[in-house]
Amino acid sequence: MFSQFVGDRLRLARLLKGFTLQEVGDAVFVSRQNIHQFESGARKPSDDVLEALSEFLEVKTSFFFLPLETEVKAEQCHFRKRKTTPVNVTNRILAFGTIFEQLVYELHQQLELPSPNFDILEHYDFDSNELDASVIELIAEKTRCYWGLGIDAPIESMTRVLENAGAIVVFIDDPSDKVDALSMNRKYPLVVRNTAKDNACRLRFDLAHECGHLILHQGIETGDAKTEKEADMFASAFLFPRSSFVKEFKKCMVGSKPNIRKIIELTLKWKVSAKMIIYRARFLDLISAIDYRSLNVYLNNKGYTKKEPYGDLIIDSEPEVLRDAIDVLKSDLGISSYMLADKLGLTPETFSIFAPFNCNDSDNNNVVVPIRF
């Protein structure tokens, strides 16, 4: 064990669990000021306080003595509603990303995982300061080609596309609406998606949106209207490229009018929402403002903005890379989840936040553990 207590790790554990200084102090019977001093490095906790902190925060005492070389910063984390997201939720997200990155680092040390491949702008010499609609359309098409997806066929799984490009994808079950999806632009890119809203079309769009952030906004703080709109434009163009869209949408026209039934049938083929198709048709000037309004009113009246007509038939994929990596560690190298958690200084309960499996000596039963941001 490292001999030096690392106060920043106490702060990290506290933020991960969403506690204030006062709440932690009350739980271990010391003052708020003492906890602040522990975190700042001004004081070291006694052995009995250290054990109490470990028990309350559900980490092992070794967690507080491991080095903390880097932390996820706000500008490296992309999530919506940034300006309205409570500070404690933002801090939890950043703490989650920091510890998760340590887990992924350990996996990379043992296994050959896909290398990150999101530097599309650099590869094609695009300027991130000149992202108008036409440029983003082109970037989305170039990304598809760069990843060998072509531009003429639907994407079967956005989850698999992201994983093949080197991102770790994690699904969480958070019943709140504070976080729909987020991504982190780090050495090991991370994409987190909340599955509480059961809508495959929305899930696929959210993942494509985060893909847009990882490509368009490296080193750029996001969450404002401009960057969110850019990521939305990328998602639409990536899921349904312009040339294919124009060709397919012509089949949805009866004379000069769009046919809603044909549009709904198109959702099943391309695995996108009717609302996205209608928005994209208007964006590409294929329908009038009046038709756009009429189609959206129809969707709202039918309840199709919340549940797609073919929603039960449209699926994506569950994330595989993290689960498979942990399975391979055990089967091929004899490193169980319990051992991995121990190296990270995490209890099984806390480890399950990052790798949603049972963590015990008999190991992974693929049980998803709810998390609340």
Query: Taking a C-beta distance cutoff of 8 angstroms, is the pair 340, 351 a contact?
Result: yes
If you average pLDDT over residues 210-232, what whole number do you get?
Answer: 93
> Whole-angstrom distance between the N-terminal and C-terminal Cα of the chain?
31
Residue 370 has pLDDT above 80, yes or no: no
Residue 373 has pLDDT above 90, yes or no: no
Query: Taking a C-beta distance cutoff of 8 angstroms, is the pair 168, 321 a contact?
Result: yes
Task: Please give the mean pLDDT across all residues of the chain.
Answer: 91
DSSP 8-state symbol, 346: B
Query: What integer pLDDT is reported at residue 341 of this predicted model?
Result: 95
If you average pLDDT over residues 270-294, what whole number do you get?
Answer: 98
Instruction: Convert the pLDDT of each residue in 11-21 to its tens digit.
Output: 999 999 999 99
Query: What integer pLDDT is reported at residue 73 of this predicted model?
Result: 86
Query: What integer pLDDT is reported at residue 81 of this predicted model?
Result: 64
Query: What integer pLDDT is reported at residue 104 of this predicted model?
Result: 94
Query: What integer pLDDT is reported at residue 151 of this predicted model?
Result: 96
Instruction: Convert the pLDDT of each residue in 128-179 to its tens digit.
Output: 888 999 999 999 999 999 999 999 999 999 999 999 999 999 988 765 666 7
Question: In terms of pLDDT, which residue wins out, 353 or 162?
Answer: 162
pLDDT band at 321 (very low <50, low <70, confident <90, very high): very high
Residue 254 has pLDDT above 70, yes or no: yes
Instruction: Convert the pLDDT of each residue in 25-66 to its tens digit.
Output: 999 999 999 999 999 999 999 999 999 999 999 999 999 999
Give dist(CA 141, CA 256) in Å, integer.
Answer: 28
Please give the structure tokens belonging to residue 3.
């001999």
Query: Taking a C-beta distance cutoff of 8 angstroms, is the pair 139, 216 a contact?
Result: yes
| Residues of the chain above pLDDT 90, percent | 74
Angle between helices 87-110 and 337-344 (to 10 degrees): 120
Burial class (CB in 10 A: 0-12, 13-18, 19+), 256: exposed
Residue 361 has pLDDT above 70, yes or no: no
Nearest one of 114, 116, 143 to 216, comparing CA atoms: 143
Write phi, then psi, for 190 (nearest 5 degrees).
-125, 135
Q: Where are the domains of the chain?
A: 1-69, 242-313
Residue 371 has pLDDT above 60, yes or no: no
If you average pLDDT over residues 337-364, what whole number do you get?
Answer: 79
Query: What integer pLDDT is reported at residue 82 of this predicted model?
Result: 60
Write phi, then psi, for 182 (nearest 5 degrees).
-155, 160
Could you name the CATH architecture of 1-69? Orthogonal Bundle (1.10)
If you average pLDDT over residues 300-323, what whole number do you get?
Answer: 91
DSSP 8-state symbol, 184: E
